[in-house]
Amino acid sequence: MGQQVRDGFVELYKTAPEGVWSAPGRVNLIGEHTDYNDGFVMPFALPHTAVAAVSRRTDGVLRLHSADVAGGVVELRLDDLVPGTDRKWTAYPAGVVWALREAGHPVTGADVHLASTVPAGAGLSSSAALEVVVALALNDLYELGLQRWQLARLCQRAENVYVGAPTGIMDQTASACCEEGHALFLDTRDLSQKQIPFDLAAEGMRLLVVDTRVKHAHNEGEYGKRRAGCERGAALLGVDALRDVPYDGLGAALQRLGDDEEAVRLVRHVVTEDERVERAVALLEAGETRAIGPVLVAGHASLRDDFRVSCPELDLVVDTAVAAGALGARMTGGGFGGSAIVLAEAADVDTVTKAVLEAFAAAGRTAPRVFEAVPAAGARRLS
């Protein structure tokens, strides 16, 4: 796709771009709604990427174009970028430029043409791919010398403040830092990371992504409510973040919350989910990959029953896949629609896929899109 985006840039701006970059979407293996609680996550990068051809400008102008959005080039003045004022796709790349400049980096303008194969709004983080590809391009072109984790922080700031979506740091870090053939065990408190080898094919397994095509929208309420509820829970328990509630202290913490059912549910999910991430990492490192199946299923139940961010379609994928012989399955991403992942023996993939498609047809729902996910590379310069 790099060449196509390069050609698109030339056609649009009548000159060659200074370079072409790519940044992937991600699926999260385990660790959901933990990132804004300073907890653990374990995403890996998808082969689906946002690709951007970019050149610098010196006149304070930012020109943006997406091959995937109808309409022409959007031209913005850097001095006019104001957080919370842009409700369109351009807020993501413009937010990155805003965040870089706000942090004191001498970005004086850019021409951008991009295209993405990450499905938008499917819980696979098309937004972070967009942010990270632009951040990496500007970091290279303007020789800002920022490290990957710093770019991720700036992209998160762009999404939180400029776009107005209160998301955690997982998506941007995954896009910026993941490595081919590995899942990224990330401590979202200090961004310390460990690359965990994750080669399912070698062990006779597959991981499927099932995009339910039910659209979610993070910046529309529920996500923010969960986040605020977690902060409230932490305050009630007298900790900085729910990460600080130890798993073996969960019983005491819940007792302390008493009949505050809302806080009990949110705290219980976050604390048990952090433990599930650590358990999954330990299992993968011990070579007991199949044993993460039940951990995924338990994570889904917690998201469905305690955190209440699943939806009937995601539950249908998980229930059907497990009943059809999958090793494990769970929703991935923020929820309220989007995608689920299914871990299955290679030999069972066809049976499981067929069962899911038939269940959706029988329920009269739109057919989901099912594809196999293999851990791909993180953001990089293509040319």
Enumerate the known binding-site residues for ATP.
Answer: 66, 121-127
Does position 127 interact with ligand ADP (CB under 6 A)? The reply is yes
CA distances from 350 to 43, 51, 54, 315, 345 (A): 25, 32, 41, 20, 10
Sign of the torsion formed by the C-alpha atoms of 73, 79, 85 and 90: positive
Q: Which does 95 bind (CB under 5 to 8 A by kind): Mg ion, ligand ADP, none?
A: none
Cβ-contact 245, 268 below 8 angstroms? no
Cβ-contact 209, 339 below 8 angstroms? yes
Residue nearest to Mg ion (CB): 127
Does position 172 interact with Mg ion (CB under 5 A)? The reply is no
Q: Which of 22, 116, 139, 320 binds ligand ADP (CB under 6 A)?
A: 116
Closest C-alpha among 4, 5, 43 to residue 24:
43
Cβ-contact 69, 82 below 8 angstroms? no
Comparison of 236 and 371: residue with beta carbon closer to ligand ADP: 371
**Phi, psi at 270, each rounded to 5°:** -65, -45
Comparison of 123 and 233: residue with beta carbon closer to Mg ion: 123
Q: Which stretch binds Mg ion (CB under 5 A): 32-40, 109-117, 121-129, 362-370?
A: 121-129
Q: Which of 127, 175, 212, 289 binds Mg ion (CB under 5 A)?
A: 127
Residue partners of 307: CB distance under 8 A and separation at least 6? 32, 33, 226, 265, 266, 269, 335
Q: Which of 21, 36, 40, 89 binds ligand ADP (CB under 6 A)?
A: 89
Q: Which of 66, 173, 188, 212 binds ligand ADP (CB under 6 A)?
A: 66
Q: Which of 68, 199, 262, 305 binds ligand ADP (CB under 6 A)?
A: 68
Q: Which of 86, 171, 211, 274 is catalytic?
A: 171
Q: Which stretch binds Mg ion (CB under 5 A): 11-19, 75-83, 120-128, 226-234?
A: 120-128
Q: Which does 69 bind (CB under 5 to 8 A by kind): ligand ADP, Mg ion, none?
A: ligand ADP
260 part of the active site: no
Beta strands in the chain (DSSP E): 19-28, 40-41, 43-56, 61-66, 74-77, 110-116, 182-187, 193-197, 205-211, 328-332, 339-345, 369-372, 380-381
Q: Which stretch binds ligand ADP (CB under 6 A): 114-122, 297-305, 314-322, 373-381?
A: 114-122
110-116 and 61-66 beta bridge pairing: parallel
C-alpha 97, offset from chain centre: 20
Q: Which of 41, 122, 200, 281 binds ligand ADP (CB under 6 A)?
A: 122
Helix (H) or strand (E) holding 226: helix 222-237
Residue partners of 177: CB distance under 8 A and separation at least 6? 148, 149, 152, 184, 186, 193, 378
Comparison of 127 and 320: residue with beta carbon closer to Mg ion: 127
| Contacts to ligand ADP from residues 215-234, by CB under 6 A | 217-218
Q: Which of 42, 130, 169, 296 binds ligand ADP (CB under 6 A)?
A: 130
Distance between CA atoms of residues 27 and 124, nearest Å = 6
In the bound complex, what is the minimum distance in angstroms from residue 126's beta carbon to ligand ADP? 3
Helix (H) or strand (E) holding 255: helix 250-257
Residues that bind ligand ADP (CB under 6 A): 66, 68-69, 89, 92, 116, 120-127, 130, 217-218, 333
Active site positions, annotated:
171
Residues that bind Mg ion (CB under 5 A): 127
